[in-house]
Amino acid sequence: MIEKGHEQEHQQTREAADNRGALTQRRALAVLYVVLAALALWVMRDFAAAVAWACVLAIVLWPVLRKIEGVHALAGRRTLVAIALTLAVSVLFVLPLALTAAQAAREAHGVFVWFQDAKDNGVPMPDFLTRLPMVSRTLNDWWDTNLAGPLETTPVGKALHDGSLVEFSRRFGIHALHSAVQFGFMLMTLFFILRAGLGLSSQLLGGTRRAFGQHGASLVVRMASSVRSTVTGLVTVGIGEGALLGTAYLIFDVPHAALLGMLTAIAAMLPFCAPLIFGGAALWLLSQGENAAAIGLLAFGFVIVFIAEHFVRPVLVGGSTRLPFLLALFGILGGAETFGLLGLFIGPALTTILMVLWSEWVCPDAQPAE
């Protein structure tokens, strides 16, 4: 009996030692996984923005992909579908830039002639500035000092000749090349995500559910829905404002109305940025003596912006995720300030987390949404 008791004790000791060893191995393996994952992310850090943009676009295109994969004629043709959607995205981004560049190339000769004349003779002050109340004398003094004479002798001209313009051009070229490379990697990443198809989303949800439970999976679904709603709200409102204000440019006889309408649509995708474009067009009308047209364009533009920003965009951005407009607006603007342009979509997703956490705190017994 005594010997049997000693054997049991030894066996229990060995089992405890084995358990401690297995626990140590699991902890070491977890640390190894974390270190290797961190190292892999650090190696790919320069492509993080391209991957993030590809994920945002994939989230937006996912409902379209689901419908396409449900079409019998396209079943099993994932590569073809992925190529078509990726090409559509590239055209959507490249076409406005190409049209703007073509218009700029057509206007380049006129701009060069104007600059040469300004360098030799100065820039005359527009008549409408001389009629502004209270500030006309101050503006006139500043204009006489900086722009009225030959630019080579003015502070502005000297600033342009001391290498700052060349440095600006160099930096702009480097930034443009870097953006083009990042855009190419973004399209490549988007293609492989779309080619993976709906199985990729199932794997991601399954891994999230295994790691964080059903609540974690539900949170991921709501974050994706928030990103999709944000993109829908920003793009739809931007296109609508651009179309309406482009029509107004035609009515008020503003040059290059189609190009300005396209630029207005791009600017309007950012909250409260459309006035920068139609405000500039109104200033041009003022410089031509078209005071009534300038006032009409400003009034029409601000009415459109007011309706779009206070009524249409809140419904589109926060509707599907039940995100209050104030939180959606804070998420968009705060995200843009923190993460740049990509933050426009990251911000609302993060504020959605706040809403989910608040809902679970207030109603802890509520079941997570699928």
What is the block-wise mean pLDDT of the chain (370 residues), using blocks of 10 residues?
58 66 79 85 84 87 83 77 90 79 68 69 67 64 67 62 63 82 90 84 82 79 80 83 90 85 85 86 83 90 88 70 69 80 78 75 57
DSSP count for the chain of H helices, then E strands = 14, 0
Structure tokens at 24: 């140590």
The amino acid occupying position 147 is: L
pLDDT at residue number 303: 93
pLDDT at residue number 10: 63
Query: How many Å apart are CA 302 and CA 316, to the nearest integer?
Result: 20
Which of 187, 231, 255, 195 minimizes the C-alpha distance to 347?
231
pLDDT at residue number 4: 55
pLDDT at residue number 52: 86
Q: Which residues contact 108 (CB under 8 A, 6 or more apart)?
A: none
Q: Which residues contact 96 (CB under 8 A, 6 or more apart)?
A: 262, 266
Residue 289, phi-psi category: left (phi > 0), alpha (psi -120 to 50), beta (remainder): left
- Which pTM does this prediction carry? 0.71
Is the distance from CB of 254 to CB of 298 less than 8 angstroms? no
Terminal-to-terminal C-alpha distance of the chain: 59
DSSP state of 153: G
Work out whether the CA dihedral 295, 297, 298, 300 comes out positive or negative.
positive
pLDDT at residue number 299: 93
